[in-house]
Amino acid sequence: MPETITPAVPPTPPVTLSALLAREDLGLRQIAGPTDPGIVIHWAHTSEMADPYPYLLGGELLLTAGVHIPEGPDVSAYFDDYVSRIVAAGGAALGFGLAPVHDTVPPALVAACESRRLPLLEVPPQTTFSGVARAVWQLMAQARLAELRRVTEAQQSLAAAAARQDPVPSVLRQLAQRLGGRAVLYGPDGTEVAGAGREPAASPGASREPAVGAGASREPVEGAGAALAALAGVVRPAAGTTTPPDPTDRRPHAPGTPPAPGTRPQPAATPPGTWLTPITSSARPQAAATPSARPQPAATPSATPGAPPPRPQPSSATDAFGATHLAVYALGAGEGFVLGVATPRREPGDHTIASVAAVLLTLLTGEHQSGAGAARSSALVRLLLGAPPGEVAPLLGAGRWLVVHARPEAQAPDPVAASALGAALGSPLVDLGGDVVRVLVPADREPAPQPGWTLGVSAPAEPHEWPAADTQAARALARARATRAPLLRHAARPALADLVPPADAETHARSLLAPLSGQPALAETLRSWLSLHGSWDRTAVALGVHRNTVRQRIARCAGLLGADLDDPDVRMELWFALRRG
């Protein structure tokens, strides 16, 4: 008997057998075989051949009126062979028409289908086979429409999530919600950068060895989360790895080690679901499995004569952990980021939705390698080797620059959110330090308010003025937070203080503020308090301290300066001095 084949299914959603049975206009009735709600049909086919095996692709609802049944008192052996051939061909179910040849379904056929676990449907006389086939295609069209609608809605929601102030967590949350599972972004080192959703409950006894592959751990896997992390290592480029293992190769050999020549591949002695299968466009079975691959550099000739060429690095892979479906996607920027998805079930369209999320995450996490990127690397190297900023700045671009300080309104920023902010401001020169993100932006790009962020922008500055511009941006951010403004710019217009020669103004400022020297917290508190018109609460917000601390510091400033800070003339003179200090 030939081995059971895997159905070569069409690129359309399958129809569940239960949905076909629910069609009242058909009047179909299942009289034998399993009633599993997961049984699906990919098409309907009519045949009166005694041996339909050569003409089936698999996944069919085979319809017959029994014209091929031989006459005789005992046809049990015939039906047993007939049903076994349908099962071997991958047939999904058998429909038997009651007219015009037979008034009832032969009991021997019922017994054979029950024995071989093939669903058997009774087709009433008023229902034509063409009507059954039309119903199958109608249900397919409805399923396809529902799938397209689901994918379209998911694409829209994922795109909207990518535009939020926390784009990466938002995309992961939306993906987890759409797929009903958990979505995780893994960094180049394999650690979890961000995640969303609930991990599907593990089935009893689901602990197993992880999938074998480039970068995959060989420690025992406990839990679907650990299994997903191990699977992510298979699609992540590993240093020095040019021949990752073939996911379709089920031989138990080490990664990159071919079996001995002339040996017959043996099944791996591991539980089902341990080995990888490349991802497909849906949850439907497939006849052959080949890994999807990213373009790889040309491989050098193998040192071993006759050795097979290196296998391409897979860009996506699937696995199973008990009843949990796992899928991973290598993000296309080549930085080593991997998207992982764990779901309790696999629905049509899941792969498309996850692929959309992978594209968005690629754009959010990727660093474009270009001439500008090489220039930035060169500038960094020169700075580290001692070159002054004035000589390095031309590598970053000509003209003056703005320094932007940004702080998110909700949680502390992460590297991905900082990179996304830099992209929104039009600059890849981003620095994340603590709860503040600093961005160096060309002066010809006017920063705009960003949803979820509070921004402080310096005046345009030449490279040698960058330290002063950094201070301006920090003060502008503090004032913006105190006044609850989304963006504030440092005022660079000429002032009365500019009428005084700079050297004389700086000498007067140092003399006036000498009692506060060595106490930067007092000077900065006095500056913020004066800039906010003596508001205790706003100054406390700008400095991130308690309002009573502000009161104590201002009182100490008044005492050290010997000045009446309620006098507007005193305040003005101190303000001019602080601007020069």
Alpha-carbon gap, residue 74 to 60, rounded angstroms: 28
- Residue 398's alpha-carbon distances to 122, 395, 429, 489, in angstroms, are 80, 8, 15, 22
CB 69 within 8 A of CB 147: no
3-state SS, residue 56? coil
Name the residue with tokens 């895997």: 6
Q: Can you list the alpha helix ranges (DSSP code H) found in 89-128?
A: 107-116
Q: Based on the number of CB atoms within 10 Å of its own CB, is 389 exposed (0-12), middle (13-18) or buried (19 or more)?
A: middle
Alpha-carbon gap, residue 231 to 324, rounded angstroms: 13
Q: Any residues with CB less than 8 A from the CB of 20 and at least 6 apart, and which?
A: 26, 28, 41, 61, 132, 135, 136, 139
Single-letter amino acid code for the residue at 388? P
Single-letter amino acid code for the residue at 460? P
3-state SS, residue 57? coil
Alpha-carbon gap, residue 120 to 62, rounded angstroms: 10
Half-sphere exposure of 186 (CA within 13 A, CB side): 27
CB 171 within 8 A of CB 154: no
Long-range contacts of 251-257 (CB under 8 A, 24+ apart): 254/212, 255/212, 255/213, 255/214, 255/216
**pLDDT mean values, one per 10 residues, the chain (581 residues):** 53 84 93 90 92 90 93 86 94 92 92 95 94 92 86 89 83 91 87 83 49 39 80 75 41 36 35 35 34 39 53 80 89 79 86 89 66 69 80 79 89 79 83 87 87 90 86 88 87 58 75 84 88 87 89 89 85 80 60
Alpha-carbon gap, residue 314 to 311, rounded angstroms: 9
Q: Report which of 147, 121, 5 is spatially closest to residue 63, judged by C-alpha positions.
A: 121
- Residue 248's alpha-carbon distances to 211, 277, 431, 487, in angstroms, are 12, 6, 43, 55
Other Cβ atoms within 10 Å of 23 Cβ, number: 16
Tell whether pTM > 0.85: no
Q: Radius of gyration (Cα) for the chain, nearest Å? A: 35
Pairing of strands 487-489, 453-457: parallel
Alpha-carbon gap, residue 521 to 526, rounded angstroms: 9
CB 246 within 8 A of CB 234: no
Alpha-carbon gap, residue 394 to 385, rounded angstroms: 17
Residue 253 tokens read as 């050999």
Go through the chain and tell me how many residues it has: 581
Alpha-carbon gap, residue 440 to 405, rounded angstroms: 9
Q: Report which of 204, 427, 432, 433 is spatially closest to residue 321, judged by C-alpha positions.
A: 204
Residue 421 tokens read as 């902010």
Single-letter amino acid code for the residue at 334? G
Alpha-carbon gap, residue 198 to 258, rounded angstroms: 39
- Residue 269's alpha-carbon distances to 217, 251, 253, 407, in angstroms, are 18, 9, 11, 54
3-state secondary structure string, 416-451? HHHHHHHHHHCCCCEEEECCEEEEEEECCCCCCCCC
